[in-house]
Structure 1
Amino acid sequence: MGFDEPLPADADVHRERTLTGKIALVVLVVMIVFVTTSFVTTNWLEGDPKFYGTKFEKLGLWVHCFRSLPDYNDLKHERFYAGCRWIFNPFTEGYAEIRTYIVPPFFVATQFFYTISFVGMLVSAGMILMYLLCIDDYYRVKVLRWIGFDLIVSAICGTIALIIFGALGDGRDFMPDWEQNYLSWSFGLAFVGVFLMYVVSILFIVEARIIQRKETARESQFPMEKRV
């Protein structure tokens, strides 16, 4: 049955959610878990632990972990950074001065676009809660479309972030010992999460179309029940 074909006379026009809507909600929950986990974890890039003496351990969007990274601004070569630190750590001496090295422009762009994607996901989650709990029937189709378009924009921003980091994240100009570094599971979760954003956005737009057809069918069956 195509989207533009009329519904049969016995169609259940009062059903709240179709199978498409239920699948969209399930996929949405999985997508939120993947995107949120990738946003907060520290395994976008990792150094191979099989190699002894490497300076870099792992990093996420907001935390870097080093085994023994020398401070290149320390002319006496006495300062080394080990362990995990927030990139905006204000308490470690000299850490702010090497921020331009550990957070180059392409990494800032990755943070920027993936943060927009993450915030867009949160906005869509808020709209879904509003749709499920308190939205008036008159606005259901519009809200579903807004959710779909919001997720499309979020997915595009996430895609840009992944392309940037995938192209430059394990390059020779970023972290030391780049030959032993590899894109890790947080990056993989981000990839799957962004892909699921596209899937969920399409499902919600389809759900909006289905509900609109149901409302049109109801109005044609009960013309005296038009909303004011």
Structure 2
Amino acid sequence: MQNKSDNTRNEIENISPILNMKRRTLSGNAGAGIFLLAFALIIIAFATPNWLVSDYRITGAKLDRLGLWVHCFRSLQDVNNDSQDRFFVGCRWVYDPFTTGYDQIRGFLMPAFMIVTQIFYTIAFIGMLISGIGVLIFILCAEPKQRYFIILINSLGYIQLGTGISAAIAVIVFACFGNRNGWMPEHANNWFGWSFVFACVGSVLSLVAGALFLIEANVHQRYRKQFNFSQSRFE
């Protein structure tokens, strides 16, 4: 009888740490924190026009700065204007339908590599928005005992990995072709701006967050298997 009581006590002690398991382990907390930083960087990079900037020390530079969706020029001549007296000055949305002649140079402003960069970084932007909803659920609502808890964390991990890969493709393409000769004027005096740096760092952090979420899902999966095994032995 004493041995049976001791065995029962041992089984209860094995189950207790599982029942008291934390909602998030270290990997989950770190993944959520890194995700928030990656979210901020990618959103800022998506919306700001500082992917390529001109040297501020060059007073006669034609380019000021440009981003994925906005171009800012100090004085860019319209090559399609026969009288050669039309210049584009200031910041404009790349698909601006109101400025005379701006749509005619869109092929120059938006070469194939720029469209590829826009597409992949937009995918990353959407992935971050979707992940943001999932992370809020993970932080505020989800519990380890819930049926879809592990599915949620796994989904966050894979979405973040996809987001990071998509953002990485965008920044690699832009890095290879964004400051090449023959696109923006005076390319030797241009450099990659802080928006581009944010995009690069955000893509790396997104990959790290994805890996941490997958580790978190694996930890909870092992806890759940251990709990099911201990419960079956207890019964």
Q: TM-score, normalised by structure 2?
A: 0.88
Q: Is 1:221 aligned with 2:227?
A: no
Q: Is 1:70 aligned with 2:77?
A: yes
CA shift, 1:115, in A, is: 0.6
Give the root-mean-square deviation of aligned CA atoms.
Answer: 1.9
Secondary structure of the residue aligned to 1:171 is coil
Corresponding residue of 1:34: 41
Counterparts of 1:50 and 1:168, CA distance in 2 = 24
Counterparts of 1:188 and 1:155, CA distance in 2 = 14
CA shift, 1:120, in A, is: 1.0
**What are the residue-to-residue correspondences of 1:6-45 with 2, within 5 Å?**
9=14, 11-13=17-19, 14-45=21-52
Counterparts of 2:153 and 2:59, CA distance in 1 = 53
Q: Is 1:83 aligned with 2:90?
A: yes
Match of 1:196 among 192, 196, 205: 205
Contact 2:18 2:227 in 1 (8 A): no
Q: TM-score, normalised by structure 1?
A: 0.91
Counterparts of 2:18 and 2:125, CA distance in 1 = 36
Corresponding residue of 1:173: 182
Corresponding residue of 1:48: 55
Q: 1:224 to 1:92 in 2, by over 3 A?
A: farther
Aligned partner of 2:66: which letter?
L
CA shift, 1:217, in A, is: 1.9
Identity value in percent: 36
1:102-152 residue CA offsets vs partner (Å, 9 max, x unmatched): 111110110011111111111111222233444571111111111111111
Q: Which moved more, 1:41-50 or 1:211-220?
A: 211-220
Q: 1:225 to 1:178 in 2, by over 3 A?
A: farther
Q: Which moved more, 1:164-173 or 1:130-139?
A: 130-139
Secondary structure of the residue aligned to 1:49 is coil
CA shift, 1:40, in A, is: 0.5
Aligned partner of 1:11: which letter?
P
CA shift, 1:91, in A, is: 1.0
CA shift, 1:202, in A, is: 0.4
CA shift, 1:11, in A, is: 3.4
**Structure (1/2) with the larger helix percentage:** 2
Corresponding residue of 1:58: 65
Counterparts of 1:15 and 1:153, CA distance in 2 = 28
Contact 1:219 1:225 in 2 (8 A): no
Equivalent residues, number: 219
CA shift, 1:219, in A, is: 1.9
Q: Is 1:112 aligned with 2:119?
A: yes
Q: Is 1:205 aligned with 2:214?
A: yes
Aligned partner of 1:168: which letter?
F
Q: Is 1:164 aligned with 2:170?
A: no
CA shift, 1:52, in A, is: 2.1
**What are the residue-to-residue correspondences of 1:146-157 with 2, within 5 Å?**
146-157=155-166
Aligned partner of 2:24: which letter?
R
**Structure 1: runs of 5 or more not aligned:** 1-7
Counterparts of 1:25 and 1:135, CA distance in 2 = 13
